[in-house]
Structure 1
Amino acid sequence: EPLMHDLFPLTKALHSLGVQIHIETSGSSALSGELDWITLSPKRFKKPTEEIFEFVDELKVVVLTNKDLAWAEENAAKCPEGTTLLLQPEWDTPKSIPLIVDYVKEHPEWGISLQTHKFLKVP
C-alpha cells in the first residue's frame, strides 16, 4: 500500500525530473505526495478514507458477486463526475467474468479491467 509511506519527498523529486506520478491505492491511509493520477481500488476489509474520494481519477473494483457490483456503485457515487469506472474479475473466480460483462452491457459508464500479466503468465 503506497500511502502507508510519506510520498512527498519521492514525488517532489520525481516531479522535478518531469516524471508524472500515478498510484493505485486501497485508499485506507491518508493521501500524501504530489500525485497526478490516483486509481482507487478499495478493499472491503479495509475501507477507504472519505477524504480520498474527491481526488480519485479512476475507480477499480474487484468483483466476485452481485454484492460487489452494488459496493462498486456505492463507491462510484462518492467519486467526482468524470471518474473512470472499472470492474475487474477476481482472477481465481472465472464465473465473475460473465457477471461483469453483462453488467457493463447494461451500465456503459463502467469498463472492464483485466490483470493482463496473469493472462500472459508473467509472475
Structure 2
Amino acid sequence: MNLQQNNEDLLDGGRRLPLVEDFYTIQGEGFHTGKPAYFIRLGGCDVGCRWCDAKMTWNPKLFPPTEVDTIVERACSYPAQAIVITGGEPSLYPLDYLTDALAKKGLQIFLETSGAHELSGHFDWICLSPKKQQPPVPSVFPKADELKVIIETPGDFAWAEENAAKVGERCRLYLQPEWSRYDGMIEAIVEYAKGNPQWNISVQTHKYMRIP
C-alpha cells in the first residue's frame, strides 16, 4: 500500500482529519476581525513560511486523525455562529464531509488557506493568503472573498498586486505586516494603502488582545 492510499484510508474520505486544536475565540485578522468564532486547526503544511507562527502544525504525523463528528459536536457546544477552518494548510485534505456537517447545523463556515492546492468543501467565506514559495493554484483565485497578503519587505507590495490582479472584482484586499517586521513595515503599508485605496490594512489584533 502506497503512502497516499494509506493516508486516504486513515482519513476515511474526510470523516477523520488530523486535528491540532479546536477552540472558541475572537477572529483577529482580516475582514472578520473582532468576530467570535470557533477555530478548527488542522495539521500538515507543505508551504513552510519561515515566519509562520504555527510551525507546530507542519508535520501531520504528530496529529492522529480525529473523528469529524466529534469535532462538529464540540463546535456546536459553543455559542459561536462562525467556524474558521485553518492550519497548517487545510486544502491538503478532503473537507466536504466537515463543511457539510457544519452547514447542517446552520453555522457559517470560513476558510483560511494559502491556496496551494485545489479546494474541497463548501464555504461562506474564503480568505486567500498567497505565499511566494508555493503560489496558489489558478482555480482558487476566483473563489476568494478576501485576499490577505503578508508584507515582510518592500518587494512584497508587487507580489500583492500580482495576486490582486487574479481575484474577482468583489474580493476584499488586505495588506498585513509580518508580525516580527511590524515596526519596520507599518509606516510603508499605511502610505501604500493611502496611495492605493483599494487596499485595506489588517493587523493581528489577537496578539494585542493576548488571546489564541
Secondary structure of 2:161's match? helix
**Matched letter for residue 112 of structure 1:** I
Structure number with larger C-alpha Rg: 2
Secondary structure of 1:86's match? strand
| CA-atom RMSD in angstroms | 1.0
- Runs of 5+ in structure 2 lacking a partner? 1-88
**Matched letter for residue 184 of structure 2:** K
- Runs of 5+ in structure 1 lacking a partner? none
Q: Which runs of 4+ in 1 moved over 6 A?
A: none
Match of 2:125 in 1: 37
Q: Distance in 1 between matches of 2:161 and 2:141?
A: 13
Aligned length: 123
More strand by share: 2
**Matched letter for residue 90 of structure 1:** E
Offset, 1:61:
0.3
Q: Aligned runs of 1:70-89 on 2, under 5 Å?
A: 70-89=158-177
**Matched letter for residue 120 of structure 1:** M
**Matched letter for residue 36 of structure 1:** D
Q: TM-score, normalised by structure 2?
A: 0.56
After superposition, give the CA deviation of every residue in 1:52-71 in whole Å (9 maximum; x if it has no partner): 00111000000022210010
Match of 1:10 in 2: 98
Secondary structure of 1:105's match? helix
Q: Distance in 1 between matches of 2:147 and 2:176?
A: 10
Secondary structure of 2:170's match? coil
Secondary structure of 1:27's match? coil
Q: Distance in 1 between matches of 2:94 and 2:185?
A: 36
Q: Distance in 2 between matches of 1:21 and 1:121?
A: 24
After superposition, give the CA deviation of every residue in 1:32-63 in whole Å (9 maximum; x if it has no partner): 00111100001111111011001110000000
Q: TM-score, normalised by structure 1?
A: 0.96
